[in-house]
Amino acid sequence: MRHRRRAACVLIAVVALLAVAAPACAAPEGQMTWGVHISLAPTWFDPAETLGIITPFMVMYAIHDALAKAMPGNPVAPSLAESWQVSPDGRVYDFTLRAGVKFHNGDTLTSEDVKFSFERYRGASAKTLKERVAAVETPDALHVRFRLKNPWPDFMTFYTAASGAGWIVPKKYVEKVGDDGFKKAPIGAGPYRFVSFTPGIELVMEAFDGYWRKPPSVKRLVFRVISDEATRLAALKRGEVDVVYSIRGELAEELQRTPGLSLKPTVIQAPQWVSMLDQWDPKSPWHDRRVRLAANLAIDRKAINDAITLGHSRLTYSIIPSTFDFFWQPPAYPFDPAQARKLLAEAGYPNGFDAGDYYLDISYSNVQEAIAGYLQQIGIRTKLVSRERASHWSTYADKKYKNLAYTASGAFGNAATRLESYVVGGGTYVYGSYPDIDSLFKDQAAELDRKKREAILFKIQQLMHDKVMHIPVWELAFINGHGARVQESGLGLIPGHAYSDLLDRSQQPRSLGVHGRRPQGRTRRTPRAVPGGGRDGGGRSRALPRGVERQRGAGRLAGARRGRPRRRHARGSARRRRDHARHRDARGDRVLPEPHAQGRRHRRAGGVAAPGQRPQL
């Protein structure tokens, strides 16, 4: 009896020791800081306002969660919905919600939150979704039923991938604080909860211990706004940030050479192109197909790719990602400026023409400056007008642009979702459409046979190419980097996704604060030759258009200082405010000098070369 009691005591002690030595999950710890390349906007904190681009998902993957979403290894991973079923006739979708999911304020997720989130959604594809959904039913707290008016093979793609309609917010909290209050203090069901947002400076989030999937490995996330590319790299070198987005050109090469830093180029589902918005206006030069074709033949895409994204971007000559279902590969546009000039002359523009304002997102001014330089060489003269990203896309969607506009999307989906937003009449960013394409799009949406549907979508893309509707640039290689502390950056884990998977990344267990390498002294400004182009005596890359000079720091704003990379300005400093306001006209737009600007003064102000030189990339 004594031996049994002694054995029992030993067993209890061993079990207790194992319980202490092997906790179920390690608690989140430490901080990771991202140097982001754009100014963050509160509109991206609310899934209801998702505008068909990938940028909002950078924040939404942290704060919010969806019924289903793209995750590593699964493009439609069950999330807040643990399963779903489709009726045999394709008209009813039943979702079973995960039990016990909590929002950051402690509210329990129910079917009413799912219905509420769908009904308040007003972003991209909202009209398409709501026109096709007859009713949203909530049989009980853990079941949601969507009844469609007709079978629609793309319902799940539009609902869970291409839009923010399937990202769920707490009904009671939104009704209490209102839409504006929600954007000031968003509550979601994601792995991180909102802590604070300082416009133009940073967004701070902390791990949510109640997240259903698994505890995040890092306790505190900071998205720090560093718009200048050279400044982002300098911050990474100093250890002020752990991960940086969008480092291009010679700065990317410098990052790659720096001990302790890692370059992470990833081709993402984000074609970039130039939209000719006035092609439906008979009075516009862009109405003539020959002019649109001339613009495509004028651009040396390979030279831009080699100079800015180090050759990593994919030249697909399409606005549809090559990884999407129903992608059709169009023929390539050769670089042929002589033929471009001939086409312009045949169209009645032997001396070219003034194309007016050319609108762009400031974070891609380097790419658009290069394109404007090539267009200038055949006589198409433009004035670059840039905006911060949120302003660019909201103005674009409000149909306030004319002439030319930088266009891109990295949103999830398939060929049909991309066509709906950017090609078909009534789309969020569509300024005009062609009846034959609109009719075929309606046909494919109702076609349940996949092969027949594929043939229709291929035909639409062939017509887009035949009509020369766009000036495709590339399928973007998003070039990012991280420091030595980072074990897993999360970059590239979700196929096609531009940003980090915020749940599956971690850092080395080192002290926080300033860490990493010190700045390596004055940064050299020797221009790099474009492969195959060589340099002339002035250090200009011969492969680039006449008037375009290779610029170190491809994302640099017009007028940015040369020499040593600038240190990040103190919060609220007068200098930061002055820099933010630089190059704005009376409407608040940033105006970049015309590529044909003359003289040394213009070169200093906007990086535009005098005649006979090459405009900067």
Q: Determine which of 37-41, 52-56, 462-466, 586-590 has the lowest per-residue pLDDT on average.
A: 586-590
The two tokens of residue 498 are 């531009």
Q: Could you tell me the maximum CA-CA distance found in the chain, to the nearest angstrom? A: 109
Residue 213 has pLDDT above 80, yes or no: yes
- The answer for 125, left when phi > 0, alpha when psi is -120 to 50, beta otherwise, is left
- State the DSSP code for 512: -
Question: Which residues of 460-581 form beta strands (DSSP E)?
Answer: 470-482, 486-488, 506-507
State the Rg of the chain over Cα. Answer: 26
**Greater pLDDT, 375 or 507:** 375
Residue 550 vs residue 14, higher pLDDT: 550
Other beta carbons within 10 Å of 449:
9
Q: What is the DSSP letter of 286?
A: G
Both tokens assigned to 240: 């002020």
DSSP 443-472: HHHH---HHHHHHHHHHHHHHHHHHT-EEE
Mean pLDDT of the 211-229 span: 94
pLDDT in tens, 183-197: 999 999 999 999 999
Tokens found for residue 599: 């003289």
Range scoring the smallest mean pLDDT among 250-264, 409-423, 430-444, 483-497: 483-497
CA dihedral 219, 242, 51, 107 (to 10 degrees): 0
CA distance 400 to 65: 33
For residue 193, give both structure tokens.
């909860």
Q: Assess whether pLDDT exceeds 80 at residue 90.
A: yes
Distance CA(205)–CA(193), nearest Å, equals 5
- Whether residue 550 is predicted with pLDDT greater than 80 in this model: the reply is no
Q: What is the pLDDT of residue 616?
A: 38
Mean pLDDT over 43-69 rounds to 94
Joined together, the tokens standing for residue 577 give 């405010």
pLDDT at 43 over 90: yes
Question: 571 or 356, which is more confident?
Answer: 356
583 DSSP 8-state letter: T
Interior/surface letters 13-31, b for 16+ CB within 10 angstroms, e for the rest: eeeeeeeeeeeeeeebebe
Q: Bigger pLDDT: 574 or 24?
A: 24
Q: Please give the single-letter amino acid code of residue 510.
A: R
- Confidence bin at 153 (pLDDT 50/70/90): very high
- Three-class SS state of 104: coil
Q: What is the value of pTM for the model shown?
A: 0.79
Q: pLDDT (tens digit, 9 = 90+) per residue, 552-571?
A: 433 332 333 333 333 344 34
Mean pLDDT for the chain overall: 82
Whole-angstrom distance, CA of residue 483 vs CA of residue 106: 36
**Which pLDDT value is given to residue 489?**
79
Please tell me the total number of residues recorded for the chain in this structure: 617
* Banded pLDDT at 28 (limits 50, 70, 90): confident
The CATH topology of domain 65-170 is Dipeptide-binding Protein; domain 1 (3.90.76)
Q: What whole-number distance in Å separates Cα of residue 58 and Cα of residue 609?
A: 36
420-452, pLDDT tens digit by residue? 999 999 999 999 999 999 999 999 999 999 999
Tens digits of residue pLDDT in 460-480: 999 999 999 999 999 999 999
Q: Which residue, among 315, 349, 350, has the nearest Cα to 334 in the 3D structure? A: 315
Kindly report the number of other CB atoms within 10 A of residue 189's CB atom: 28
d(CA 617, CA 380): 18
Query: Structural domain boundaries of the chain?
Result: 65-170
Structure tokens at 100: 């016990």
Burial of 154 (0-12, 13-18, 19+ CB in 10 A): buried
Can you read off the two tokens belonging to residue 372?
Answer: 């404007």
pLDDT at residue 589 tops 80: no
pLDDT value of residue 233: 97
| Exposure on the CB side of residue 12, measured as CA atoms within 13 A | 6
Mean pLDDT is lowest, of 17-26, 336-345, 379-388, 530-539, for: 530-539
Give me the mean pLDDT over the 242-262 stretch: 95
Q: How far is it, in rounded angstroms, from Cα 468 to Cα 276?
A: 10
Amino acid at 255: L
Q: Which residue has the tokens 């030189």?
A: 613
